[in-house]
A and B are shown apart, each in its own frame.
Chain A
Amino acid sequence: MLRSLPLALVAILALSACDTLGGSDGGSVTRQDVAAFPVQVDSLWGFMDVEGRLTAQPRFGFADEVYNGLAAVRDGAVWGYASPDGQLVIPATYEAAGRFTGDLAPVRSDAGWGYVNTSGTVVVDPTYDSALEMSDDRAAVRAGFLWGYIDASGTEVIAPQYAAAGEFVDGLAPVQTADGWQYIDRSGAVAFGATFAEARAFSDVGLAPVREAGSEAWKFIDTDGTIVLNTTYASAMPFTEGYARVEDGDRTAFIGRDGEFLIGPEMREAGPFSEGLAAVRFNNRWTYVSRDDGLVVMSPLFSSARPFRGGLAQVTTGSGDKVKTGYINESGQYVWEPSN
């Protein structure tokens, strides 16, 4: 359990990494400002800048991506936060540490999950059983079996009462109630009456994927809860930069706001669009496609590929003990050759 929680956190982060992208104008491409990027050299982790120059000599057992000027780093068995120059700004005292996607980051100590601010001050005491990263000034927290939300000051603004809780985007979040999935606003009030068998977060174009009870196919609702786009797919992910991933069996496609294909059900797997690019897998390994035309922008292949962020994407080659981490730019050129 202790070891699995940070992994769960990473998985959640992968979803929340996109919510800072794009505006409310519907699918615009925005590049994040990222201070530094973690790199591994001789098994230790340090940081580089966007040009691939080391900004901090490798010294950490692991370094996560930089958010809000800080990266969660592991020093031995404990986690703290480092700045891009390698300074351990928040001492490594935690069993697990999430990202500063807002003003606060979730950390776990013996007593449970709480939150720290960028100065390292404990803002929320470690009283929760789970704590997710912030988005839209809210973070989901779990007490016992029930989820609620805190705000950026650490105040529990929505008391734990849900079986599951998604992230807030533009003031709305999906939550699982006894009646099914509903959407709430930031005060915890039900946003609209509709209830769904499954529901996922809203995104930059004001649409959210839902599945109605008795239906296999996912649909998209607008912020009034009105179904505005039907699909025939067994799974749908939120829109990012104007396109949503839909899945049917072992095939994934990208559709636009009218349901039109950007890329047909040709992919085995795909990540979300960010900064105009999306990681996709047509067979065993990953590459990237462009939002402009849905075509591969480069042909090198990776064993894993993260979304673009700050003009670069973290990719890995190899697997198991031989996995190497590198960075490519938007042209597919290595800014940092894979290393480990």
Chain B
Amino acid sequence: MRRIPLHRSFLLTLVLSMGLAQGCDTLTGDGDDGGDIDRSERLFPVRADGEYALIDKTGRMVVSLDDYDEVKPGREGLVPARRWDGRTYWDFFDAQGQVAFTIAADGVEAPSQDRVRFWVDGRSGFVDLEGRFIVNPYLADARSFREDVARVKTTSWRWGLMDRMGDVVVEPQWGSLQDFSNGRARFEDDDAYGYIDAAGTEIIPSVYDDARSFSGGRAAVRQGQRWFYIDENDSRVMGSTTFISAGDFGDGLAPVRTENLWEYIDESGARQIGPQFEEARKFVDDRAAVRVDGGWTFIDRDGTQITPNTYDEVADFDGGLAAVVVDEKLGYIDRDGREVWIPRD
């Protein structure tokens, strides 16, 4: 058995990918596959005595993964874990700690919309949640499904859109394209940014110098040095208010910066939580990760910290828990700030 030391890079990867995964756990098995399986609960990867294990959201260890050398944050009820047996296999563990299906692949993403993006030999494809191929691994690149489409590069370096049956529904044409949210995806054209809809129509032209994803019906965009917000029809909101920096709306609040410190505003632009944070992220599950005096913690909607600011890194809440890292050790806290899994190796 190969023992892989727990590196900071693992933790960063884990924590960062958890951050990317947030907001996607709302699908509870109402797709066309495996519709009777409850995917609202899932397990969480931890380290215990130098080995991987999976815990439930109460912090109880459900299964020990001694023979695995990588575990990724889960989604849609399933957690991918990698083992080596002559070649690389990924087992997908369900909420009971059972292997739901296995695929042989170099790498996988967590499930999204009943599809798993995997890659082998440098090419991406998709399987369903029983491990059956939906799209052969021919894609030069791909990302997981969001809002019923996946962005893919077929045989060129440009991105197009694929539906869940594997049909390319919008031909590749963008050098840079982000994931869909709120029915919009950011594209780039000659260093300028706009948004397409799911049909591939450039519904908001590329007039912005920078732009963030839509969230809560708003997107932060930049023209020149200043950020402001637009709605899905490209109408500017909050009048003439601009910011030095602006983040994404979540739970009706968004982090913005007009001076050195970050604050939170509501959709009218009114300040709700005063400027006091060195860094501030989007609200998820009524909790937002913030950095205060060099340490990370979470605040609730009143701006009250739910834990001491003692963490080196944190991921957004996802599935009821948030991953936290202190001294390169991974732990989890619940929404009340309790450490259901005390950071350890």
Contact = CB atoms under 8 A, between A and B. Distances in A.
Nearest to B118: A299
B168 to A, nearest CB: 9
Interface stretch (A66-74, A216-224, A289-297): A289-297
B138 A267 contact: yes
A282 B137 contact: yes
Nearest to B167: A264
A283 B86 CA distance: 21
A263 B154 CA distance: 13
A297 B120 CA distance: 14
Contacts of A251: 155
Contacts of B120: 287, 299, 301
B134 A295 contact: yes
Contacts of B230: none
A289 B104 contact: no
Given A284-B121, A285-B121, A301-B120, A296 B155 contact: no
A294 B123 CA distance: 17
Interface residues of A, number: 21
Interface string A293-309: 01111111100000000
Contact of A266 (B104, B134, B136): B136
A337 to B, nearest CB: 8
Interface string B242-266: 0000000000000000000000000
Contacts of A282: 121, 123, 136-138
B80 to A, nearest CB: 14
Contacts of B104: 298-300
Contact of B105 (A265, A299, A337): A299
Nearest to A338: B86
B101 interface: no
Interface residues of B, number: 19
B103 interface: yes
Nearest to A280: B136
Nearest to B127: A299
B133 A300 contact: no
Contacts of A294: 136
A251 B103 CA distance: 26
A332 to B, nearest CB: 8
A46 B154 CA distance: 43
Given A296-B125, A300-B104, A266 B154 contact: yes
B87 interface: yes
B122 interface: yes
Contacts of A284: 121-122
Contacts of A301: 120-121
A61 B76 CA distance: 54
A289 B155 contact: no
Interface in A235-288: 251, 263, 265-267, 280, 282-285, 287
B185 to A, nearest CB: 24
Interface in B256-307: none
Contacts of A299: 103-105, 118, 120, 133, 137
User: Most A CB atoms within 10 A — which of B118, B132, B133?
Assistant: B133
B19 to A, nearest CB: 29
Contact of A283 (B103, B123, B133, B134): B123
Contacts of A266: 136, 138, 154-155
A295 B122 contact: no
A262 B122 CA distance: 23
A263 B134 CA distance: 12
A285 B122 CA distance: 10
A337 B85 CA distance: 12
Interface in A70-121: none
Nearest to A250: B155
B155 to A, nearest CB: 7
Contacts of B132: 295
A265 B156 CA distance: 13
Contacts of B138: 266-267, 282
7 contacts: A266-B154, A267-B138, A283-B121, A283-B137, A294-B136, A296-B137, A297-B133
Interface of A: 251, 263, 265-267, 280, 282-285, 287, 289, 294-301, 337
* A-B pairs with lowest CB-CB distance, top 9: A266-B138, A295-B133, A282-B138, A283-B121, A299-B104, A296-B133, A283-B123, A282-B123, A285-B121
Given A265-B155, A299-B118, 4 more contacts: A267-B138, A280-B136, A285-B121, A299-B137
